[in-house]
Amino acid sequence: MGFSLATTEDTGQMATRQHLLEAAGQVFAEVGFRAATVREICERAGANIAAVNYHFGDKEQLYRAVLQETYQAAIKKYPADYGLRANATAEERLRAFVHSLLLRIFSEGPSARHGKLMAREMMEPTGALDAIVREDIRPMSALLVSIVSELLGAEADDATKRLCANSVVSQALFYHHCRPVVVRIHPDLKFDRAGIERLTEHITRFSLAAITNLATKPRTGRAAKK
């Protein structure tokens, strides 16, 4: 193996393959699997048209490789316990969960691309969705349910726990999935660092208020208030 140069900058053995992954991540996230063209991907990667088929077999296998690579990047950069101390309370863990989710989705670079690809997968699943749900989403869901059930109390039933967990993640995903509509209706909403802090604050407060309120009066017929 000739690692002739110390730099992994270029001309390395896997250079073209990595460039293809990077370029494909960009293009797939921008326009989706179907609208993405291998010509565009290869052009951005500085590679020949035939490079995709040579290195990955076909366009779909390249897509699956991108999905896996961007997931690794996202979960490495923004784990679900992002910035959390050891013995954190359930409130703190809920806030960290929401915060890391928003950061993962709205950040720039490869880690954010996974969020866009996931959103497209949810809209029209390719064959890659099953593996993603099994290895990625399900553990996340279980973590959130455990946080929610600690907030709700032990006497809450499973259905309620899962519905509340859904209500939490839905608020965060909304700004991502419906972004084109949101920015038209609320032009002052920003998704920079400060904007994400504000969103984290609202979603956490809203959810905590709901869950703790539901915990105190678990099973009244309708939403009774004092």
Q: Compare residues 5 and 163 and give the one whose CB is closer to DNA.
A: 5
Decide: is 53 part of the binding site for DNA (CB under 7 A): yes
Q: Contact at 8 Å (CB) between 69 and 110? A: yes
Contact 167, 110 (CB under 8 A): no
Give min distance, CB of 125 to its own copies, in A: 5
CA distance linking residue 209 with residue 172, whole number of Å: 16
Stretch that binds its own copies, among 18-26, 52-60, 61-69, 131-139 (CB under 8 A): 131-139
Cβ atoms of residues 73 and 18 within 8 Å: no
Instruction: Tokens 């209706």: give the residue.
Output: 185
- List, in sequence order, the alpha helices (H) in the chain: 15-35, 38-45, 51-56, 59-77, 90-106, 110-123, 129-132, 138-152, 158-177, 179-185, 193-216
Cβ atoms of 58 and 36 within 8 Å: the answer is: no
Minimum distance of its own copies from residue 80's CB (angstroms): 16
Nearest approach, Cβ of 121 to its own copies (angstroms)? Answer: 7
- Choose among DNA, its own copies, none what residue 213 binds, the Cβ cut-off being 5 to 8 Å by kind: its own copies
C-beta separation of 42 from 23 below 8 A: yes
How many C-beta neighbours within 10 Å does residue 55 have? Answer: 19
Q: Which of 14, 35, 50, 131 binds its own copies (CB under 8 A)?
A: 35
Could you say whether residue 55 binds DNA (CB under 7 A)? yes
Task: Tell me whether residue 19 or residue 161 sits nearer to DNA (CB atom).
Answer: 19
For residue 35, the minimal CB distance to its own copies (Å) is 6
DSSP state letters, 23-45: HHHHHHHHHHHHH--HHHHHHHH
Interface pick for its own copies out of 14, 50, 122, 131 (rule CB under 8 A): 122
The verdict on 143 binding its own copies (CB under 8 A) reads: no
Site for DNA contains 127 (CB under 7 A): no
Positions touching its own copies (CB under 8 A) are 31-32, 34-35, 91, 119-125, 129-130, 133, 137-138, 141, 160, 162-164, 166-167, 169-171, 173-175, 177-182, 184-186, 197-199, 201-214, 221-223, 225
Which residues are at the interface with DNA (CB under 7 A)?
1-2, 4, 11, 13, 15-16, 36-40, 47-55, 58-60
